[in-house]
């Protein structure tokens, strides 16, 4: 079996690797978390499952691991709500910010439901679920401090493991992603 470039990169950097997920495990994870892995992430997870304290174990369906993954799936919304409350985050296209905090949070939550969902990859790095195509960019997300961290999955891992510097990202090849891709420039 030929190894993908990402598989080789992870192995070269000493990442613990388990056998890839089965089709049933992928389906179960997608149903449980109400997500849809982009094709390139799905392909990687079926080839090899990176493990370790900063990776997410999509094979482990224990209550504690389900809680960890669900919390990470909610991380972007929680960060947004924190910044709405404490850092006056409010994009212009949301209209006038209400004076009541709970109303502002309700609007922010409704707006969040309209943007592409982010799937955790490693620590606070995420890939958008949509468009459901290969080569979506990867974002580093900490509250609404959101930056591109790779043009796509493979290039992201090169940056994460310092085989490529952040400055070498090919900004012109990054697929535009509504909302998330625009935050870096607000």
In this predicted model, what pLDDT tens digit does every residue of 134-161 receive, in sequence order? 999 999 999 999 999 999 999 999 999 9
Q: Compute the average pLDDT of residues 53-75.
A: 97
Q: Which residues of 127-162 are buried (b: 16+ CB within 10 A; e: fewer)?
A: bbbeeeeebbbbbbbebbebebbbbbbbbbbbbbee
Looking at per-residue pLDDT, the higher value among 186 and 127 belongs to 127
Confidence of residue 88 (pLDDT cuts 50, 70, 90): confident
Please tell me the predicted confidence (pLDDT) of residue 3.
Answer: 87
Lowest mean pLDDT among 1-5, 15-19, 56-60, 167-171: 1-5
Q: What is the CA radius of gyration of the chain?
A: 17
Which domain does 41 fall in, by range? Answer: 5-183
This prediction has a pTM of 0.94
What's the confidence (pLDDT) of residue 53?
Answer: 82
| Number of separate domains in the chain | 1
pLDDT of residue 186: 55
Give the CATH number, domain containing residue 83: 3.40.1580
User: How far is it, in rounded angstroms, from Cα 142 to Cα 8?
Assistant: 28
Closest residue by Cα to residue 180 from 134, 123, 129: 129
Helix 101-112 / helix 63-86 crossing angle, nearest 10 deg = 120
């Amino acid at each position: 079996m030929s190894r993908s470039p990402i598989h080789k990169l992870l192995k070269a950097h000493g990442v613990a690797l388990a056998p890839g997920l089965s089709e049933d495990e992928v389906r179960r994870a997608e149903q449980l978390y109400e997500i849809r892995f982009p094709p390139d992430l799905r392909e990687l997870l079926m080839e090899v499952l990176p493990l370790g304290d900063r990776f997410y174990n999509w094979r482990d369906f224990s209550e504690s691991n389900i809680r960890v993954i669900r919390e990470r799936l909610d991380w972007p919304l929680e960060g947004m709500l924190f910044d709405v409350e404490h850092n006056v985050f409010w994009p212009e296209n949301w209209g006038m910010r209400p004076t009541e905090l709970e109303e502002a949070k309700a609007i922010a939550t409704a707006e969040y439901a309209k943007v592409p969902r982010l799937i955790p990859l490693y620590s606070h790095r995420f890939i958008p679920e949509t468009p459901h195509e290969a080569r979506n960019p990867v974002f580093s997300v900490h509250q609404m401090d959101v930056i591109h961290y790779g043009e796509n999955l493979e290039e992201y891992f090169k940056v994460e493991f310092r085989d490529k510097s952040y400055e070498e990202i090919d900004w012109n090849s990054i697929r535009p992603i509504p909302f998330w891709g625009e935050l870096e420039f607000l």
